[in-house]
Amino acid sequence: MGRTCRFSPCCLAVEAERSGPMDVRLVMFREDGTRVDFPLTKPVTVIGRKEACDIRIPLAEVSRKHSAVYVDDVAVRVKDQDSANGTYVNNQRVAEEKLAPGDHLIIGPVVFTVQVDGDPSEIRQVRTKLKRRGAQAAPKKAVASASGSVAALDESPDPISALEALASSAEQTAIDPLDDDDLLA
């Protein structure tokens, strides 16, 4: 009875056959419930407010270069790019974090669900609401992610037109950019 080990030559050969580019997607939903997938086809995908970003979110809460998602043959990770408001994974602020299928990547008011090679196969809509200064916060709902951690998410829908533009765009860039002059110091 022979034992196999993932480090034995035969197991490494099998693993090498299965390795290759992972199909990694960031999934979000439009306000009407329509799912929008952002395939991460490059080794590095930059998310931010700047026009040169791969995924552009033209909102003041998002830094010009907010975070970067790195994809290779074995892992997906996100790294905050010294953003003002932080990058969150499952409601925890992170500087750099490995992403797992089903994790929630939160950039400003946008919540993406991480999907790797079709896992998780079912993704439900996560809604957020921007908190304005002086405004009353919406009720929170605790949600468990696939990794078992709990995130507090708003139950009310988010009427952000810029996100609708982002979600309905066929490209990975949003329409209707914000100028730096539109932002408060």
pLDDT tens digit sequence for 83-122: 999 999 999 999 999 999 999 999 999 999 999 999 999 9
Among 37-46, 77-86, 119-128, 161-170, which stretch is predicted with the lowest mean pLDDT? 161-170
Structure tokens that stand for 135 in this block: 């405004």
Tokens of 185: 């110091």
Condensed to tens digits (0 to 9), the pLDDT of residues 50-91 reads 999 999 999 999 999 999 999 998 999 999 999 999 999 999
Burial class of residue 89 in the structure, from the number of CB atoms within 10 Å of its CB (0-12 exposed, 13-18 middle, 19+ buried): buried
Q: What is the pTM of this model?
A: 0.63
Per-residue 3-state assignment (H helix, E strand, C coil) for 15-76: HHHHCCCCCEEEEEECCCCCEEEEECCCCEEEEECCCCCCEECCCCCCCCCCEEEEECCCCE
Determine the Cα–Cα distance for residues 71 and 115; give it in Å rounded to an integer. Answer: 12
Distance CA 34, CA 68 (A): 25
Higher pLDDT, 103 or 161: 103
Cβ contacts of 155 within 8 Å, gap of 6 or more? 127, 138, 139, 140, 141
Contacts of 158 (CB under 8 A, 6+ apart): 31, 109, 127, 128, 129, 130
67 backbone φψ class: left, alpha, beta (φ>0; ψ -120 to 50): beta
The predicted model gives 41-51 an average pLDDT of 96
